[in-house]
Structure 1
Amino acid sequence: MHVAFVSMRTAQHHETGATERTRRVAEALAARGHEVTVCCARWWGGTLPAFDQNDVTYRAVTDEPAAGSFGSKLPFRLLKTKPDVVQAVNSPPGHVVAAKRACRLLRVPLVVDWWQDAGDDWVGYKRAARAANRVLVPSELVRTQVREHGAAEERIETVPESIDVDLVRDAPVDRRADIVYANDLDEGCNVESFLLALAELRTQTWRAAVIGDGPLRETTEETAADLRIDDRVAFLGDLPPEEFVPILKGARVFAQTAEHEPFATELLWALACGCIGLVEYQAGSSAHELVTGTGRGRRVTSPQELATAISDAADEPPRTRSENYAAYDHDAVLDRYLDVYREAIDERGFSLGLF
C-alpha cells in the first residue's frame, strides 16, 4: 500500500505530539514494507526535491512552512505522488481541504489524524472534519471536539498512542524514585500541583523524579527549592524510553497533572510499568480516561487530594509491570491504522489487491 502523509511541519522541524505521531506511524508502515511519502515543507539542506530517511520519502511542497503557499501547491504534489490513501494532520485545517481536492481526482480516501485544534479557525476545522472519509482521534476528549466540528460519529475512529510492550517486559528495574512526574516542562505542564503535593508530604519518607525538559525547567527547580523539597526531587531532563522505563518500573506512583493532553502517553507507559496512576482532573486533558475503571488509578482535583492519594498508595502492593496494555503495543496500534485505511479504500470500491 502507498500511503501519503500531509504534514507541513514534521518532527524534523519541531517535535510535537502531532508531528511525533505522524513520524512514528510513517516509519512503522515503511518498516512493514509499505510505500510511504510525506508531503511537507523542506527540512533538509540543499535543493533536492525529496529526501529519504528511515525508508520514508519526504517530498517538499514548499521550501519553508508557509500555510498559504503550501495549501495551494499541495494538490499538485499529491496528484504526482499517486497514493492509495492520504492521511493528513488536522492543522492547519486548510491543508485538509486542499488534500481533499486531490483525493477526489485520484479517487482515493482521505483520512485525517486529529491531534488537537491549533488556533480558533472554527470554520476551517468544520470544513476539515466534513472533508474526511475517516477521522482518527487519540482519545474520547478529542472525539468530542471533532463531533462538535461536525464530523459524523460513524466516521470517527479512536486510535490511541502506543508503547513498546516488549521493552516494558524486558527492561530492568531502577528504584531511584518512589514517585514520578513526566512531561515537557512548558506552559500548561502544571508541575506546580505535583510539587505542592510533595510539599504536603515533606514529613514522610519518599524520593521523587521529574522527567522532561523545557522552558520552565529552571523555574520548576526554583519552586522545588522554595518548597524545601529540592533535596528529594531529582530533575532528570528528557530521557529515551530505554532510560525512563526502568525508573517507572521501580516507582510506585505516577502523577499526571498537565492541563492539556490529547493523549497522556507518559501516563500510559507508567501504567504498563505497574505504577499507580494519579490524575489531577483538567478539562483540557484526556488523562483521566486511562485510569477510569482500572484498579491502579485514581482521579483527584487538587494538590491536597493528590498528596492524600500518594500517601494512600503506600499501602498498595508494588508492581513492575501490568499485563493489561497489550492493545497499546506499537504493532497492535499500527494494525488499527491499517484496518482504517483498508476499510476506507474498500468503501470507495477501489481495493485492487494492494495488500
Structure 2
Amino acid sequence: MKILLTTDWWTPAVNGVVRSVTLLRRELMARGHDVKVLTLSPTNHSYEEDGVIYLGSLSADRVYPGARVRFAAWNRWMRVLTDWRPDIIHSQCEFSTFLPAWRLARRCGCPLVHTYHTAYEDYTRYIIPSQRCGRVAVKELTRLFSGRCDAIIAPTGKVADLLEHYGVSCPVYTVPTGIDLAAFHPIDDAQRPALRRALGLPENERILVSIGRLAAEKNHGELLRLLVREPAESRPLLLFVGDGPARAQLEQQAADLGLVDRVMFAGMVPPAEVVRYYQAGDAFVCASQSETQGLTYFEALACGTPTIVRADPCLDGVVEDGVNGWQWKDAAGFHEALAALSGPDTARRLRQGALATAERFSAEHFAQQALQVYEEAVERRCRIPGGLPAGVPAAASGVGFFLCLWLGVWAWHRGLLTDLNALQSWVSGLGVWAAAAFVAFQAVQVVVPILPGGLGCLAGVVLFGPWYGFAYNYIGICIGSLAAFGVARYCGRPLLERMFPRKLLIKYDRWMGHKSFSRWFALAIFLPVAPDDFLCYMAGTTSMRWDQFTLIILTCKPFAIAAYSTGLTVAMNTILRLI
C-alpha cells in the first residue's frame, strides 16, 4: 500500500505529533508499505530528502512557539505525488498541510484519514482572548475539515467523545498512539543510584519526574502548589524535564514558594536521553488536563515508573488506582497517593503493574490498528456504486432527464399533451401498471434526481386525480427517501461529495452536529421549502436511527407532498384558464 503521511511538525521538533508520526512511519515501512511524508521545511525552500517532502515555510512563533506556516507554492510536488498515486493519505495536522492533503486525495480519488492530535480548546488563548468564542470557533472549524475526511482517528476515548460533541460527519476510530517498548524499558533498582549520579541527581531522595513542554496549558504550577503543602521533612524533589514559554514563570513561582532547593529544571534533553529520566524517578507526575494522546504516560509506564497524575478522561483504562499509579482529583488525593508510594512493597507492585499496562500500547499494535482504519476507508470508497468517477451520478441524472424529454416528445406527437382527457384515458387504459410505473419513477428520482420533485407531484395529480395522485406520490417518495437514506448509510460521506455541490454540503454541515438535528430534519421534511432528497442522503451519514428516520418520513412527508400537489395544480389551472 502507498501511504502518504502529512504533518506540520517533523524532526528535529520534539512533541507528541512528531513522535506519533515518526513511529507510525517506521512501523508501516517495516511491514513493507511504501510510505512518504509531506511536511514543512525549516526554511522557505522546498526540497525532498529520504522520502520526506519539505514545503517552504515561514516561522509562526507569534501564534505558537515553534510553529511554521506553508509559504512556497507546491504545484510541483502535487504533480510528483499525483504521479506516485497514494492509496491512502493520513493527515496529522489541520493547518498548512491539510489543504494539500485534501486536494491530493480528491485528485487521486483516495481516502483521506486524519488524526485529531490536539484539543484546540486548550490552546485558543494564544490567539483568541475569549474562551467561549474560542470553543465555538474550534467546534465549527473541526466540523468543517471533518466533512472533507473519510475517517478520523482519535488517540483516546476523551477525544472521540469531544468529536462526537462537535458533531463531526465521518466515522471516528479510537486508536491509542503507540510507543517503542524497546526504547523505553525499566532498569533494576540496583542500577538507579549510578544512573542518578550520572544525571547529577541526588541518590537518596524521592524524585518526582515531570517530562514535557513547559507551557500554561500543562498546568505545572499546580504541582508546585501541591509540593509546598507536603511536610518539609518528607518533601520529595520535583524534577522538570523539558523547556518552554512557562519556564521563567515556574522558576519564579518556585522561588516565591520557598522551593528552590526542592525543584530542579533539567531543560531540554536529547530525545534518546529522556528514557533515563523516567528510569531515575520514583514516580511520574502530571497536572495537565489538555492531553489527547498521553504519550508521556505510556512512556513512564513502559519504564516501570508509577504515575501520580491529574484525573482525566484520556487516562481511563490507562492509569488505574493502586495498580500502576493513581489519578488524583484534588490536593487530598495527591497527598494520599504520594504517601502510599513510600512503601517499598507498594512501589514494587506498582512497577510491575506499570509494565503490564505498557504492553497494550506497543508500536506494532498501533500500526496494525491504523492499517485497519486505512483498509476500511478504502473499502468504503469502493462501495460507492461501481467505484465510478465523480461525474457518473450527474450523468445518470442527465440520462434520466433526456429519457423523460424523449417520452414527452413522443406523447406530444400522440396528442396526449394537448388533450388532458386523452392523456388520462390512455393512462387509465394501462391499469395497475401505470400506477406501479409512476410509483417506481417517483422512488427512483429521489435516489437519482431527474426532474424537480414538484413536477413529479404535479404529474401524479394530473394523471391520476387528486386522491390517487397524492397516494402514489406519497408511496413513491417515501420508498425513495428510505432508499436514499440506506444508500448514504452504506456508502458514507464520499458519495455525497460526488453527487452534490460542495457549497450545498458546507451550507447544511453545521446542522449535522446539533443535538436537535432530528427535530430540525423533521421540520425541514414537513415544510415544502428544503431540498428533501439531499437531506435524506445527508441524514444517512449521521447517527440517526432507521426507525427514527422512517417515522419522520412517514409522518412529515404528507403535508409537503399535498402542498406541492395542490399549489402546482392551482397554478397550472390558472395558467390554462388565462391561455
Q: What is the rounded CA distance, in whole Å, between the counterparts of 1:180 and 1:133 in structure 2?
A: 40
Q: State the partner residue of 1:103.
A: 105
Q: State the partner residue of 2:521.
A: none
Establish whether residue 89 from structure 1 lines up as the match of residue 89 from structure 2.
Answer: no
Establish whether residue 56 from structure 1 lines up as the match of residue 86 from structure 2.
Answer: no
Say if 1:264 and 1:287, in contact at 8 Å, map to a contact too: yes
Establish whether residue 279 from structure 1 lines up as the match of residue 309 from structure 2.
Answer: yes
Q: What is the rounded CA distance, in whole Å, between the counterparts of 2:100 and 2:237 in structure 1?
A: 52
1:60-91: per-residue Cα shift (whole Å, max 9, x none)? 3x555656987999876653441011111351
**Secondary structure in 1 matching 2:228:** helix
Q: State the partner residue of 1:6.
A: 6
Note closer, same or farther for the CA distance 1:266–1:136 as it changes in structure 2 (3 Å cut). Answer: same
Q: State the partner residue of 1:157.
A: 173
Q: What is the rounded CA distance, in whole Å, between the counterparts of 2:177 and 2:13 in structure 1?
A: 19
Say if 2:217 and 2:288, in contact at 8 Å, map to a contact too: yes
Q: State the partner residue of 2:36.
A: 37
**Secondary structure in 1 matching 2:24:** helix
Aligned residue identity for 2:92: V
Q: What is the rounded CA distance, in whole Å, between the counterparts of 1:331 and 1:11 in structure 2?
A: 21
Q: What is the rounded CA distance, in whole Å, between the counterparts of 1:137 and 1:265 in structure 2?
A: 13
Aligned residue among 111, 114, 121 for 1:112: 114
Q: State the partner residue of 1:220.
A: 250
Note closer, same or farther for the CA distance 1:110–1:310 as it changes in structure 2 (3 Å cut). Answer: same
Say if 2:286 and 2:309, in contact at 8 Å, map to a contact too: yes
Q: State the partner residue of 1:353.
A: none
**Secondary structure in 2 matching 1:115:** coil
**Secondary structure in 1 matching 2:217:** coil
Aligned residue among 291, 295, 300 for 1:261: 291
Q: State the partner residue of 2:324.
A: 296
Deviation at 1:58, TM superposition (A): 1.2
Note closer, same or farther for the CA distance 1:19–1:223 as it changes in structure 2 (3 Å cut). Answer: same
Deviation at 1:267, TM superposition (A): 1.7
Aligned residue identity for 2:48: F
Which structure shows the higher helix fraction?
2
Q: What is the rounded CA distance, in whole Å, between the counterparts of 2:274 and 2:13 in structure 1?
A: 22
Q: Provide the aligned length of Structure 1 versus Structure 2.
A: 340
Say if 1:97 and 1:127, in contact at 8 Å, map to a contact too: no
Note closer, same or farther for the CA distance 1:18–1:72 as it changes in structure 2 (3 Å cut). Answer: farther
Say if 1:91 and 1:117, in contact at 8 Å, map to a contact too: no
- Higher mean displacement: 208-217 or 314-323: 314-323
**Secondary structure in 2 matching 1:195:** helix
Q: What is the rounded CA distance, in whole Å, between the counterparts of 1:145 and 1:179 in structure 2?
A: 31
Aligned residue identity for 1:181: S
Q: State the partner residue of 2:212.
A: 183
Note closer, same or farther for the CA distance 1:125–1:70 as it changes in structure 2 (3 Å cut). Answer: farther
Note closer, same or farther for the CA distance 1:97–1:144 as it changes in structure 2 (3 Å cut). Answer: farther
Which structure shows the higher strand fraction?
1
Q: State the partner residue of 2:338.
A: 310
Deviation at 1:57, TM superposition (A): 2.5
Deviation at 1:145, TM superposition (A): 1.9
Say if 2:207 and 2:237, in contact at 8 Å, map to a contact too: yes
* Structure whose alpha-carbon radius of gyration is higher: 2
Q: What is the rounded CA distance, in whole Å, between the counterparts of 2:33 and 2:218 in structure 1?
A: 37
Aligned residue identity for 2:47: A
Aligned residue identity for 1:214: G
Q: State the partner residue of 2:466.
A: none
Q: Which runs of 5+ in 1 are unaligned?
A: 351-355
Aligned residue identity for 2:17: A
**Secondary structure in 2 matching 1:108:** coil
Aligned residue identity for 1:57: V
Q: What is the rounded CA distance, in whole Å, between the counterparts of 1:10 and 1:310 in structure 2?
A: 36
Deviation at 1:225, TM superposition (A): 2.7
Q: What is the rounded CA distance, in whole Å, between the counterparts of 2:314 and 2:250 in structure 1?
A: 24
Q: State the partner residue of 1:23.
A: 22
Q: State the partner residue of 1:124.
A: 141
Q: Please list, as runs of the form range in 1=range in 2, the aligned pairs for 1:204-215 lying within 5 A after superposition.
A: 204=234, 206-215=236-245
**Secondary structure in 2 matching 1:290:** coil
Q: What is the rounded CA distance, in whole Å, between the counterparts of 2:97 and 2:262 in structure 1?
A: 48
Say if 1:255 and 1:279, in contact at 8 Å, map to a contact too: yes
TM-score (norm 1): 0.80
Say if 2:24 and 2:366, in contact at 8 Å, map to a contact too: no
Q: Say what the alpha-carbon RMSD is for the aligned residues.
A: 3.3
Deviation at 1:200, TM superposition (A): 1.5
Note closer, same or farther for the CA distance 1:280–1:121 as it changes in structure 2 (3 Å cut). Answer: closer
Say if 1:174 and 1:246, in contact at 8 Å, map to a contact too: no
Establish whether residue 174 from structure 1 lines up as the match of residue 196 from structure 2.
Answer: no
Establish whether residue 236 from structure 1 lines up as the match of residue 266 from structure 2.
Answer: yes
1:243-300: per-residue Cα shift (whole Å, max 9, x none)? 3334433433221102411122112222233333222236xx7345521466223222
Note closer, same or farther for the CA distance 1:44–1:101 as it changes in structure 2 (3 Å cut). Answer: closer
Of structures 1 and 2, the one scoring higher in RCO (CA 8 A, sep 6+) is: 1
Say if 2:186 and 2:302, in contact at 8 Å, map to a contact too: no
Deviation at 1:332, TM superposition (A): 2.3
Deviation at 1:98, TM superposition (A): 6.1
Deviation at 1:3, TM superposition (A): 0.8
Q: What is the rounded CA distance, in whole Å, between the counterparts of 1:13 and 1:240 in structure 2?
A: 10
Note closer, same or farther for the CA distance 1:148–1:73 as it changes in structure 2 (3 Å cut). Answer: farther
Note closer, same or farther for the CA distance 1:314–1:241 as it changes in structure 2 (3 Å cut). Answer: farther
**Secondary structure in 1 matching 2:245:** coil
Say if 2:10 and 2:39, in contact at 8 Å, map to a contact too: no
1:43-71: per-residue Cα shift (whole Å, max 9, x none)? 3575xx5321xx433153x5556569879
Aligned residue identity for 2:339: S
Say if 1:138 and 1:161, in contact at 8 Å, map to a contact too: yes
